[in-house]
Amino acid sequence: MAKLHEIILGGGCFWCLDAVYRQVKGIESSLCGYAGGTVANPIYEQVSSGNTGHVEVVQLRYEPEVISLTTILDIFWATHDPTTLNRQGNDKGPQYRSIIFYQNDEERAVIAASLTKAQKLWDDPIVTEVKPLDTFYPAEAYHQNYFVTHPEQAYCQVIINPKLQKLQHNFASLLK
């Protein structure tokens, strides 16, 4: 297997992005976690207060020969609302903001081009932050692969399932 690349994305509750990207060919792993804040080794209760500066994110490791960063970002723009500040649906607070963390100038350039292209799809301005990655902290074990382990939960049925339906409708050829 070729060297995996990595990107960190935040677009609301991390369970949503995790569920979406686990369905996509070329995504070798998705790990829920926290990034962008000032508290070292944060726990969920701290992050959910909205006072740490951290965002709920997913760390995606992917095979660039199978899926490009551009395609990963196309999915990102299509499966959450990047025009709402500090909010996705009923999830409100800075910990749910739309954000992309890059690790080098090449990624930053791809993200900038993707954002420009995505803006044409939205009437309102995209408010997604684009920042260099400092540190990623994995979330607690009970947050990992939440949708698969708790499909009966109301949040999974009402919030995550529609995102998966969008994924299936718009990106069927990319699904595992």
The helix (H) or strand (E) run that includes residue 105 is helix 105-119
Q: State the helix-helix crossing angle for 161-170 and 69-79, rounded to 10 degrees.
A: 130
Which stretches of the chain are assigned E, i.e. beta strand?
5-11, 27-35, 55-62, 87-88, 91-92, 98-102, 129-132, 136-138
* Burial zone of 23 (CB within 10 Å; 0-12 exposed, 13-18 middle, 19+ buried): middle
Choose the catalytic residue: 13, 16, 32, 156. 13
Active site residue 16: no
- Could you list the active site residues? 13
